[in-house]
Amino acid sequence: MSASLETIVAAPDRSSHWRRRWRLLLAAARGSHDQDYTEGPIGRSIVLLAVPMVLEMAMESVFAVADVFYVAHLGAAAVATVGLTESLMTLVYTLAMGLAIGATALVSRRIGEHDRDGAARTAVQVLALGVLLSIVLGIVGAAAAPELLSLLGADATIRASGSAFARVMLAGCASVFLLFLANAVLRGAGDAASAMRALWLGNAINIVLAPLLIFGPGPLPALGVLGAGIATVTGRSIGVAYAIVRLTRPGGRLAIARRHLALAPSIMVRLVRLSSAGTFQVLVGSASWIALVRILAGFGPATLAANTIAMRTVMFALLPAWGLSSAAATLVGQSLGAGKPERAEAAVWRAALYNLAFLGSVGVVFLAFASPIVHVFTDDPVVVREATTALRIVALGFPCYAYGMVLTHAFNGAGDTWTPTRINLALFWATELPLAWLLARHTPLGPAGVFVSIAFCFSALAGVSALLFRRGGWKTRAV
């Protein structure tokens, strides 16, 4: 009798528990504008920030995979064109992400201090720098696109078919800059839901527009790989417009008004100081990817195509994990701004555990189903074989990388951008590149040696980052 009574009482409790979780997830997806992330349960704060950030990055993952899926129907040369152009775009991504690191650190710290005007003035400086840099890079990159492709190892076929695509992507780099930066400001302010919607809107438009421009159904011209570039720039530009509207909307967590529009040299100096280290930090990682592609280029177009498919699929997993790590960075910045370093540290370890569960699970899926996943993109037997091997090897490093990713983001959120920069130098330049060259060129592993080096450095990142994080110097960093 007592057991039956216990069952009756427990059932509503379990039901109520799941309803509360569901309401929390809905609140996170909608955006919680009255939530103070420096107070209350840490788990709730992480969920409210992380859910929209993970969904935002999940859509970016879908975009990355969809783009290659469409282009793969044009052949290995077209896929290789996209892969090489993405390598060129890493400079744009590097500068944008470097500025975004500084933006998130400064904005989140001002929000934690309850200085919303200071946060809005910082946002203006961020966007102004983004516009200036994108103009310069767009002009230079578009003019030199064929030569830049050749520098990365493109043969005559890829240069002939891919130069127009590369020109469009480089000329339209303002859409990348401003989408990265506006969303970094929104996330730093705690309005992760608006950042999510901006990226969803831009990428949804691209996903719909890309096949129309690539294949030209009906009266539309078939532009091939060029159509993919036009669709990408168009979609991102519309996403930027939405983000700017959210940043200037009265009543938001951060509302840019006319009084904030003047340039502020003191804020600019702090932003450049933080962002220069952040940019170099990202450049270290980005340059290592370019160098790895250069090593792989010597094995021919099929290997390049396999690398593009494998790495886009890896990004499908890493981008949502990146979103969860960004939530930790925002919590660190706001908690330090509120004078609560213990809360910042606790949030980081909790977010790292969540990331381990997510990325470890994805790694298991990749190990088990790598071949069917690659077959979604291509039936070329050589490309399938090499991409499958690459995907399985890199997935082995996912569990450790989950921790390392959160910890390096936490340093950046605190404004300590030099610590992860030194980590990247030691692991990705001093270790990964020589190891990749040695294994690929001087062992029977061949191209697979490059991916062994990636998995090894993914794993090492966790241990090195944890050791430095526990020392606690990031807690006293002023920004």
d(CA 327, CA 105): 12
Q: Are 165 and 81 in contact (CB under 8 A)?
A: yes
State yes or no: pLDDT of 154 exceeds 80.
no
pTM score > 0.85 for this model? no
Look up residue 358 and give its two tokens. Answer: 């997510």
Domain check: are 187 and 146 in the same one? Answer: yes
Domain check: are 226 and 313 in the same one? Answer: no
CA distances from 380 to 139, 168, 201, 369 (A): 37, 28, 33, 17
CA gyration radius, the chain: 22
Between these two residues, 60 and 260, which has the higher pLDDT value? 260
Look up residue 370 and give its two tokens. Answer: 């790598």
> What does 420-452 look like in DSSP terms, one character per residue?
HHHHHIIIIIIIIHHHHHHHHHHSTTTTHHHHH
In a domain, 420, yes or no: yes
Q: Which of 53-67, 139-153, 154-168 shows the lowest mean pLDDT across its residues?
A: 53-67
> What does 335-361 look like in DSSP terms, one character per residue?
HHHTT-HHHHHHHHHHHHHHHHHHHHH
Would you give the DSSP letter of residue 32? Answer: -
Q: Which residue's structure tokens are 């990428």?
A: 203
Choosing from 221, 251, 277, the residue where a domain stops is 277
Domain check: are 438 and 329 in the same one? Answer: yes
Q: Are 118 and 479 in contact (CB under 8 A)?
A: no
Other Cβ atoms closer than 10 A to 105: 33
Would you give the DSSP letter of residue 299? Answer: T
Query: What average pLDDT score do residues 327-333 get?
Result: 90
pLDDT tens string 103-140: 988 999 999 988 888 899 999 999 998 898 889 988 98
Residue 346's pLDDT is what? Answer: 93
d(CA 322, CA 46): 13
Contacts of residue 229, defined as CB under 8 A and 6 or more positions apart, other chains included, come to 85, 164, 165, 166, 168, 169, 172
In a domain, 231, yes or no: yes
In a domain, 135, yes or no: yes
Q: What is the mean pLDDT of the chain?
A: 86
Domain check: are 185 and 332 in the same one? Answer: no
State yes or no: pLDDT of 193 exceeds 60.
yes
Per-residue pLDDT band at 11 (split at 50, 70, 90): low
Q: Which of 62-71, 159-168, 395-404 shows the lowest mean pLDDT across its residues?
A: 62-71
Residue 143's pLDDT is what? Answer: 86
Choosing from 235, 250, 277, the residue where a domain stops is 277
HSE of 53, CA atoms in CB hemisphere, 13 A:
31
Q: Of 243, 250, 254, 124, nearest to 195 (Cα)?
A: 243
Sign of the Cα torsion 406, 407, 412, 413 reads positive
State yes or no: pLDDT of 212 exceeds 50.
yes
Domain check: are 143 and 83 in the same one? Answer: yes
pLDDT tens string 413-433: 998 989 999 999 999 999 999
Domain check: are 232 and 308 in the same one? Answer: no
Domain check: are 359 and 262 in the same one? Answer: no
Domain that holds residue 441: 295-479
In a domain, 61, yes or no: no
Residue 17's pLDDT is what? Answer: 64
Query: What average pLDDT score do residues 4-12 get?
Result: 50
Domain check: are 392 and 362 in the same one? Answer: yes
Domain check: are 302 and 410 in the same one? Answer: yes
Residue 2's pLDDT is what? Answer: 47
Task: State the burial class of residue 86 (Cβ atoms within 10 Å of its Cβ: 0-12, 13-18, 19+).
Answer: buried
Look up residue 97 and give its two tokens. Answer: 């992400």
State yes or no: pLDDT of 163 exceeds 50.
yes
Domain check: are 248 and 334 in the same one? Answer: no
In a domain, 24, yes or no: no
Per-residue pLDDT band at 64 (split at 50, 70, 90): low
d(CA 436, CA 390): 13
Angle (nearest 5°) at CA 282 between 336 and 455: 105
pLDDT above 90 coverage of the chain, percent? 35
State yes or no: pLDDT of 435 exceeds 50.
yes
Contacts of residue 248, defined as CB under 8 A and 6 or more positions apart, other chains included, come to 255, 256, 257
Q: Are 228 and 82 in contact (CB under 8 A)?
A: yes
Q: Of 157, 242, 229, nearest to 196 (Cα)?
A: 242
d(CA 386, CA 302): 9
Look up residue 457 and give its two tokens. Answer: 């450095």
In a domain, 65, yes or no: no
Domain check: are 328 and 378 in the same one? Answer: yes
Number of folded domains in the chain? 2
CA distances from 215 to 69, 160, 265 (A): 13, 19, 49
Residue 75's pLDDT is what? Answer: 80
Domain check: are 268 and 323 in the same one? Answer: no
Look up residue 84 and give its two tokens. Answer: 């090489």
Residue 69's pLDDT is what? Answer: 79
CA distances from 198 to 150, 151, 240, 288 (A): 34, 34, 7, 29
In a domain, 376, yes or no: yes
Choosing from 214, 246, 277, the residue where a domain stops is 277
In a domain, 53, yes or no: no
Q: Of 241, 323, 435, nearest to 60 (Cα)?
A: 323
CA distances from 193 to 60, 113, 331, 337 (A): 15, 22, 15, 22
